[in-house]
Amino acid sequence: MVARKVVDGQTYFTCTLGEAQSQRRPFQDVNDLIEQQANSIGQDIAVGFYRVGERDDQTTFQPILLTFDEVRRSVAKAAELLQQSLLLPPGNAVGLLSASSPQFFFVWLACIRLGWPVILIDPQCATQAVHQLCHDTEVALVLVDEKNWPKIDKSGPDLQYLPIPFSEVDVFEYSTSGNGTDRVPPETARVAYFHHTSGTSSGRPKPIPQSHHGAVGALLALDGRYKATFTTTPLYHGGPADTFRAWTSGAMIWFFPSRDAPVTAPNVLKCLDEARKASKDQKSPPVKYFTSVPYILQMMSEDEHGLAVLKQMDLVGVGGAALPKQNGDDLVNAGVNLVSRYGSAECGFLLSSHRNYEIDKEWQYLRKPASSPHLMFEAREEGLYELIVTAGWPHMAKATRVNGSFATSDLFEPHPHIRDAWKYHSRSDAQLTLITGKKFDPAPIEDAIVAATDLVSSALVFGNNRPSPGILLFRSSSANSISDAELVRKITPAISKVNAQSPGHAKLIPDMLVPMPFSEHSLEKTSKGTLMRSKAEKRYEARIEASYQEDVNGSSDLDVPDAELEGHLEDVIKAVLGINATLDVNQQLFSIGVDSVASIQIRHRLRALLPQDSPPLPTNIVEQCGNVRKLAEYIRKVRHGQSIDEDMSAESRHREMLSLVEEYSQFDEPEGVVVNGVHDNIKIGEVVLLTGSTGALGAHVLHQLMRDSAVGKIYCLARAPDARSARSRVSQALQDRRFGDLRDNDKVEVLPSKLGQARLGLDDATYSRLSGEVTLIIHLAWSVNFRMALRSFVEDSISSVRNLINLALSATPSRTCPRFAFCSSVASAANYPQFAVPEQILDDPSYASDLGYSQSKWVAEGVCRNAAKHPRLRGRVSVLRVGQLSGDSETGIWNAKEAWPIMLSCAKLTGSLPNLKNQVIDWLPLDIAAKAMLQGVYAPSQRGTDIAVYHVLNKHQTPTWSDLLKWLKECKDFEIVEPSVFFQQLNESSCNEGHQHPAMHLVGHWENSYATNSEDKSPVRFDMQRSEEEMPIMQTVRPVDQDYFNRLWAWIDANLPSP
């Protein structure tokens, strides 16, 4: 078989499975690959090993080269020797526990030839992990090399260990004669061998089967005969993939002898030098491709000769873990053609950063080719995206979703300018999850701190299920004699630099910097150089726990006098936020960046200001007080045993709500008011300004506006640093709901904005353009945080209503003001005492529920009513109270951050769901709600009244939660328990595999809502007469049925996490 030439400048070293998919792939299975290449290019060199020796106190590396024909003969002979020793029929799985070596190489391929699926076990695996892997793959016999034979515990249950019955020397002797055993018939779907995960996050490695098709059948045959690869990757990791990628293109591969020599820069350079000599002396192809894991590449780059050799390579590949940015940048700036290669054992080679190396230096950004339609990036938190491999990808060892897709758990961030370029960020399952539900990747923080100072040899960031992160700082030998305080003082600049580049919830505060003694073996790592985090957290569990106790109990904050509390609290808040600016004691903390994460961290520090016998602080004390002055006053009252109920009373909050309505109903008055104007943009049709288009409802509304021929232009205001990021967020929201994207769409313009600012964060020219064009404003954006107090909604949410109304009023006097539609919530009337909530604005603030969110919506409704009294807006303002929304009526696509789908997904986590007695399932599909809202917005009868109020909800009182659980029982096995039991199970799981489940930051809210599980609760009803008349689609709304619920569950099961 003659390998084909390069396609479109592609190389076998960088050709992904997606790029290979459209081309002819000539090999059926591994044995067929070896046979075909031995027959067609049998005298070409296939593989290079090294015999390690000593000469004059120097380590020597003697090359051993095998042609494709010699590989076939050697593998056949090894298979014969194995079969004689083990007497196993085809189909029996075996284990291989061996250092990476020629012996490993021949055992592996011989097992495949015999039809024995072989699991390639990393020698670093603990005994328990070996037993578990063998149990999972039904292996009863493990072959062990001489190096590892003394280390293994041979007492495993139902597990037999045998030494490998030959050495590589035995096999080399047969490489030029004999054919050995026959190979088993080809079967591409059959398992050829198993890799296994490292168990870095879970502590338990899992086997990943590799079919013959995935190993070689999905690979493209290019012409690689004149460019060899040199790899330091062990055969029990990425070595097999490197081998087959080379061989399918007729290329040679060299293996570093890691069994017999340490992987150091000098040793690697000696091997490469021998390879260079062999290319001259024995006509083997020159090494043009070098591949390794990051820490080896770092060693090479730090050696002057090593860097020179890397610069001579056509391509230098890195993978297996993340190479620190600075190291990669240094290599690229030195002239190295550095390419990141990304793949997984489950799906093979997925992406690379192969590009025009002369002009494109973005080595970290993997490029998604147009020829890879089965790779999708789904939006996650913090601007990150998870890579999803969809059904139809050439190789998938297993699917994780019911639709046949594989969710990689790998998170990426898009390039700000290069289209379809993605930088690896972190593993979602390796991220730390704070008690707030906020996540972050600890590895870059650890790497950056270690790289910034020679006083720290290694670091461990911790914080799972805690209010804030901390870090264990392991001294280097050079810092062994300095005190803890001195160590912290000296590394504070490095910490500050890292904090400046970290999200707010990942910042390290001084009290959580924990110096540790010097140790040669402080943190265990995998052979790839990856920190074994679960082992480290268990090993240092007591020290981590003590750090949180010391943070509170070891503090001297009790000594802070009452008169100095405000200054002290300012310091606490600035430390949590990582800022140095002076704070106004009356300034709303939310406006300076104190979100729910920072609030929990601040509350944690407040405990140190109080006597130990003080009552627990309210969970939302920071949000409830809202500023430094009120926090200080609260602390003083608790210290002195004074009543603290007055400022928190319902009456006080209701007065505040009424005051806010009055304050935010002071609108800007344009000059020369004309009540009856005309629109000057009739030619282009309706011009809509939409907020909240990145949310679930907003994406549906936008999708319907895009399809409406009467709408000529849509402006979306989105929170983002720039226009490109804003458009990307909106486009992704549409894609997530299968609505396509904004590519080549001129009808939609997305503007980055800040709705809480007077002119919406827009420049004057843009603001004037909107003032002159917009005919309809639909305001959906709102902070959804059930912990925040009313005051925390003022600066960004409540103020946005006034700012958008001011935009409407800024229309020139000759124009009719745009209509204004505000999306409210049924929560604004949740405490209405009579039979049915009327379709009108409610005067009494007590009708809103006690949540700050609900109260803020009531305030906004009041502002809208006052706006509708303005002569230019009379009959042009509408309020739409929206109830509980649910997934699309056709696709079932919902919102992964919604409480109901999160609760239902807990059946996969705890194996249970709560018995919520008399809970009505009055859910309304998102697509129906969006249609209803637009019908209400356009309803002509508005013009005869000051303001129109509509109820967008499912009025039916059936089914109940109990009915829903019965339906779910038909497709999922779980237990129905009392709410208190369910919450206990959730809290227990948070300490184990469930700590990253999104339910963890909702447990407290659920406990408050359902702990009593009263049967006397009756749902609030809403008058629907006008809503059904003017929004005809509401007349078609039916109770949730089983078919619809099954679509919802299919989406939940596929898209919300399992443990």
Same domain, yes or no: 436 and 547: yes
Same domain, yes or no: 595 and 626: yes
Please give the Cα distance from 790 to 657 (Å, whole number): 8
Poorest-confidence range of 245-259, 383-397, 779-793?
Answer: 779-793
Highest mean pLDDT, choosing among 541-550, 770-779, 847-856, 984-993: 770-779
Residue 611's pLDDT is 81
Mean pLDDT of 1008-1034: 79
pLDDT (tens digit per residue) in 361-416: 999 999 998 777 889 888 776 678 889 999 889 888 888 877 788 988 888 989 98
Q: Nearest-CA neighbor of 322 among 346, 281, 353?
A: 353
Asked if residues 221 and 26 have their Cβ atoms less than 8 Å apart, the reply is yes
| Distant-in-sequence, close-in-space partners of 347: CB < 8 Å, separation ≥ 6 | 17, 389, 393, 395, 396, 397, 406, 408
Q: Read off the DSSP letter of residue 512.
A: G
Q: Which of 513, 532, 553 is the last residue of a domain?
A: 553
Poorest-confidence range of 164-168, 281-285, 476-480, 524-528?
Answer: 524-528
Mean pLDDT of 263-272: 90
Phi, psi of 847 (to 5 degrees): -70, -20
Q: Nearest-CA neighbor of 758 among 806, 813, 715, 719?
A: 806
Same domain, yes or no: 626 and 545: no
Look at residue 424 and tell me if it is in a domain: no
**Domain count across the chain:** 2
User: 625 or 876: whose pLDDT is higher?
Assistant: 876
Q: Is 415 helix (H, G, I), strand (E, B) or coil?
A: coil
Residue 159's pLDDT is 86
User: 498 or 697: whose pLDDT is higher?
Assistant: 697
Residue 846 to residues 652, 654, 859, Cα–Cα distance (Å): 11, 7, 11
Mean pLDDT of 814-823: 90
Q: Nearest-CA neighbor of 51 among 259, 281, 263?
A: 259
Cβ count within 10 A of residue 82:
25
Look at residue 440 and tell me if it is in a domain: yes
Residue 457, judged by CB atoms within 10 A of its CB (0-12, 13-18, 19+), counts as: buried
CATH of the domain at 540: 3.30.300.30
Residue 425's pLDDT is 82
What confidence tier does 940 reach under pLDDT thresholds 50, 70, 90? confident
Same domain, yes or no: 479 and 565: no
Same domain, yes or no: 520 and 608: no
pLDDT at 679 over 60: no
Mean pLDDT of 456-470: 85
Same domain, yes or no: 512 and 612: no
Residue 1059's pLDDT is 57
What is the 3-state secondary structure of 301-334?
A: HHCHHHHHHHHHCCEEEECCCCCCHHHHHHHHHC
User: How open is the CA angle 220-222-224, to the nearest 5 degrees?
Assistant: 130
Same domain, yes or no: 516 and 625: no
Written as one string, the DSSP assignment of 756-802 is TSTTTT--HHHHHHHHHH--EEEE------TTS-GGGGIIIIIHHHH
pLDDT at 95 over 80: yes
Phi, psi of 963 (to 5 degrees): -65, -45
Residue 682's pLDDT is 46
Cβ count within 10 A of residue 769:
15
Look at residue 278 and tell me if it is in a domain: no
Look at residue 482 and tell me if it is in a domain: yes
Please give the Cα distance from 254 to 105 (Å, whole number): 12
Please give the Cα distance from 28 to 32 (Å, whole number): 6
Alpha-carbon torsion (1036, 1037, 1043, 1048), positive or negative: positive
Amino acid at 242: D
User: 1059 or 735: whose pLDDT is higher?
Assistant: 735
pLDDT at 516 over 80: yes
Residue 7's pLDDT is 32
Please give the Cα distance from 458 to 1018 (Å, whole number): 58
Amino acid at 598: A
Q: Nearest-CA neighbor of 858 among 798, 899, 922?
A: 798
User: How open is the CA angle 765-771-777, to the nearest 5 degrees?
Assistant: 125
Alpha helices in 235-293 (DSSP H): 239-247, 265-281
Mean pLDDT of 66-95: 91
Residue 539's pLDDT is 87
Residue range(s) defining the domain that contains residue 444: 432-553
| Distant-in-sequence, close-in-space partners of 354: CB < 8 Å, separation ≥ 6 | 10, 11, 14, 315, 339, 367
pLDDT at 559 over 90: no
Distance between first and last Cα of the chain: 47
pLDDT at 1057 over 90: no
pLDDT at 810 over 50: yes
**Residue written as token pair 């008011």:** 673
Same domain, yes or no: 513 and 539: yes
Axis crossing angle, helix 304-312 with helix 265-281, rounded to the nearest 10: 40
pLDDT at 899 over 80: yes
pLDDT at 3 over 50: no
Please give the Cα distance from 583 to 587 (Å, whole number): 7
pLDDT at 964 over 90: yes
Q: Which helix (H) or strand (E) holds 64?
A: strand 58-67
Residue 555's pLDDT is 45
pLDDT (tens digit per residue) in 47-62: 999 999 988 878 899 9
Residue 726's pLDDT is 86
Residue 2's pLDDT is 37
pLDDT at 881 over 50: yes
pLDDT at 1026 over 60: yes
pLDDT (tens digit per residue) in 166-180: 888 877 776 665 565
Q: Which of 495, 528, 553 is the last residue of a domain?
A: 553
Please give the Cα distance from 797 to 283 (Å, whole number): 73
Look at residue 665 and tell me if it is in a domain: no
Look at residue 63 and tell me if it is in a domain: no
The 8 Å CB, 24+ separation contacts for 51-55 are 51/257, 52/257, 52/260, 52/261
Share of the chain above pLDDT 90, in %: 44
Look at residue 324 and tell me if it is in a domain: no
Same domain, yes or no: 491 and 572: no
User: 904 or 262: whose pLDDT is higher?
Assistant: 904
Q: Nearest-CA neighbor of 230 among 7, 403, 49, 452?
A: 49
Please give the Cα distance from 1001 to 1017 (Å, whole number): 25
What confidence tier does 20 reach under pLDDT thresholds 50, 70, 90? confident
User: 161 or 1003: whose pLDDT is higher?
Assistant: 161
Structure tokens at 320: 């297996």
Residue 499 to residues 449, 495, 509, 510, 643, Cα–Cα distance (Å): 10, 6, 9, 11, 39
Average pLDDT, the chain: 85
Residue 553's pLDDT is 43
Residue 554's pLDDT is 42
pLDDT at 4 over 50: no
Residue 423's pLDDT is 92
Same domain, yes or no: 529 and 441: yes
Residue 45's pLDDT is 95
Look at residue 873 and tell me if it is in a domain: no
Please give the Cα distance from 212 to 195 (Å, whole number): 13
Same domain, yes or no: 599 and 512: no
Asked if residues 255 and 108 have their Cβ atoms less than 8 Å apart, the reply is no
Q: Could you tell me the maximum CA-CA distance found in the chain, to the nearest angstrom?
A: 102
Amino acid at 544: I
Asked if residues 67 and 29 have their Cβ atoms less than 8 Å apart, the reply is no
pLDDT at 664 over 70: yes
Q: Which of 522, 553, 584 is the last residue of a domain?
A: 553
pTM for the model stands at: 0.58
pLDDT at 156 over 70: no
Q: Which helix (H) or strand (E) holds 440?
A: strand 439-440
Q: Which helix (H) or strand (E) holds 1025?
A: helix 1025-1030
Strands 338-344 and 315-318 turn out to be parallel
Same domain, yes or no: 587 and 534: no
What confidence tier does 750 reach under pLDDT thresholds 50, 70, 90? very high
CATH of the domain at 575: 1.10.1200.10
Cis geometry, peptide bond prior to residue 416 (ω within 30 degrees of 0): no
Mean pLDDT of 473-493: 90
User: 163 or 611: whose pLDDT is higher?
Assistant: 163
Residue 684's pLDDT is 67
pLDDT at 853 over 60: yes
pLDDT at 681 over 60: no
